[in-house]
Amino acid sequence: MKKLAILFATFVCFAMISGSFAATNQQTEKVISPIQYHKFVIIVPNNPTTGSQWRSIFDHAMVKLVSKKYVPDKANLKGPVVGYGGYDVYTFSGKIGQKITLKHVDPSGKVFEKRNYWIE
């Protein structure tokens, strides 16, 4: 009888431990669900040789900057050449309805252009 009670207590302990792991995994899956987060790509013209740049403004709790890459024009494939531009390619991941603002600024911080985007 004593062995049966020990075996039963061991089984209950293992069941509780495995149940807590299952609850943790379920919660993690809800957080990273592809239904909640969407990738969003923005392409804007840029000429870094002028000193100007695009600055991104967004809620860092709801949106993540996945990558930012400069792609030169075909005439400028060997690297930045004064007078030739290209494009900045931003990739974001975030919740639907979140706003991303890009501001095109000169080296002094003066804003040339402002663009707003929403994740759909």
Q: What is the torsion angle, in degrees rounded to the nearest 10, for the CA atoms of residue 100, residue 37, residue 44 and residue 82?
A: 100
pLDDT of residue 119: 86
User: What are 14-58's pLDDT values in tens digits?
Assistant: 444 444 334 333 333 333 344 467 888 999 998 888 888 999 999
* pTM, two decimal places: 0.63
Identify the CA nearest to 52 among candidates 108, 116, 107, 115.
107
